[in-house]
Amino acid sequence: MPASLTTLSQSSLQDYIDCARRFQLRYIDRLSYPAIESEPALENEKHQQEGEYFHRLVQQYLIGIPAEQISKLANTANLQRWWENFLAQPNFRNIREFGSLYPEASLSAPLGNFRLLAKYDLISIAENKATIYDWKTYRKRPRNEWLTARMQTRVYRALLVHAGAHLNNGNSFEPEQIEMVYWFSDFPTEPARFVYTSAQYKRDWDLLLKLADEIKSASSYLLTDDRTKCLYCPYRSYCERGVKAGDADQAETEMEAEELFDVNFEQIGEIAF
């Protein structure tokens, strides 16, 4: 393992689990995207950018910018609909009035030889309970089983227990105090909620330590046997796993395509208000 690899995140760990080769190309060799991830390319790129912009709009709302001012910036059909859907949820419209809000909070903790990092869309602390919110602009509502197994669900909750004491008057949160909520901008009344338990926390942290250890001692990074993972992977040409991008509208591997719309905070630019 090269010395340059010092941090892990839910997305790098998810890549490692999905395909060790992809992890190597993206986080060790740091190759930029050589191939279009999915077709139709332009439409998907626009959706991706709108997703990033939507995150920024919500973040501005959470830090106190008036909703009316933000509404003017929701200037595409998707953005307008997502923003209206957000405001139509009474718990979101009034969210600034209850408890303490930590939008775009970053947490980190040592994990084996690495540092585990996470940036949260929102952590809300109210009535002795911490709720992690994550906004998703997916075009399809994923199944809860799929979300439960995601590294994001596991890392975000575990890291909040492990490294969130400063958000709780210096006391670590008990897993039972934590809930994670995925809110889908196109399915506003169908959020996915995941409570947490001490047993799950132990299982998650053990897994994270095991993965960190495996990554530290890995000497080769095998290509995945599951070729559906390659359909939307930007590294297809390196692996000779196809040149043409997968069609994101094809249903069988739908969530492989939808995760392309996950927002990576490093990609989000500033919006002038």
Binding site for ligand SF4 (CB under 6 A): 19, 21-22, 25, 223-224, 229-230, 233, 235-236, 239, 241
Q: Give the shortest CB-26-to-ligand SF4 separation in angstroms.
A: 8
Q: Name which of 29 and 84 has its Cβ closer to ligand SF4.
A: 29
Q: Give the shortest CB-201-to-ligand SF4 separation in angstroms.
A: 30
Token pair of 203 as six digits: 């299982």
Give the span between the Cα atoms of 141 and 116, in whole angstroms.
Answer: 28
- At 115 the three-state DSSP class reads strand
Q: Give the shortest CB-134-to-ligand SF4 separation in angstroms.
A: 24
Nearest alpha carbon to residue 228 among 247, 215, 213, 214: 247
Nearest alpha carbon to residue 28 among 66, 7, 56, 2: 2
Q: CA torsion sign, 14 to 17 to 204 to 116?
A: negative
- At 54 the three-state DSSP class reads helix
Q: Name which of 158 and 245 has its Cβ closer to ligand SF4.
A: 245
Q: Give the shortest CB-37-to-ligand SF4 separation in angstroms.
A: 10
Q: Name which of 94 and 220 has its Cβ closer to ligand SF4.
A: 220
Q: Name which of 9 and 124 has its Cβ closer to ligand SF4.
A: 9
Half-sphere exposure of 65 (CA within 13 A, CB side): 15
Q: Give the shortest CB-256-to-ligand SF4 separation in angstroms.
A: 9
Q: Name which of 8 and 62 has its Cβ closer to ligand SF4.
A: 8
Q: In this structure, which amino acid lies at residue 90?
A: P
